[in-house]
Homo-oligomer: A and B are copies of this chain.
Amino acid sequence: MRASERAYQFLRSDIIEWHLEPGTTLNEVEQAERLGVSRTPVREAFSRLMSDGLVEPSCGRGVIVTPVSVTNVRAMFELRTALETQAAALAAVKGDPEAFDALAHRLEEAAVFLVDDDADRSSYYLLVEEMDAEIDRAAQNTYLAQAQRQLRTHLGRVRKLSKGNEGRLMAAAHEHAAIARAIAEGDVELAQAAIRVHLSNALKAILDAVPDQEGERESAA
Contacts and interface: CB of A to CB of B under 8 A. Distances in A.
A82 B144 contact: yes
5 contacts: A78-B141, A78-B143, A79-B86, A81-B86, A143-B151
Interface string A45-75: 0011001110000000000000000001001
Contacts of A140: 75
Contacts of A75: 140-144
Contact of A82 (B40, B82, B150): B82
Describe A's contact surface by its main secondary structure.
Answer: helix
A76 interface: yes
A150 B53 CA distance: 13
Interface in A70-127: 72, 75-76, 78-79, 81-83, 85-86, 90
A144 B75 CA distance: 8
Copies in the complex: 2
A147 interface: yes
A57 B151 CA distance: 22
A48 B47 CA distance: 7
Contacts of A52: 51
Interface of A: 40, 43-44, 47-48, 51-53, 72, 75-76, 78-79, 81-83, 85-86, 90, 140-144, 146-147, 150-151, 154
Contacts of A150: 146-147
Given A51-B48, A147-B147, A150-B147, A86 B78 contact: yes
Contacts of A142: 72, 75
A186 to B, nearest CB: 17
Interface centre among A72, A75, A85 (most CB of B within 10 A): A75
A143 B153 CA distance: 12
Contacts of A86: 78-79, 81-82
A72 B145 CA distance: 13
A94 to B, nearest CB: 11
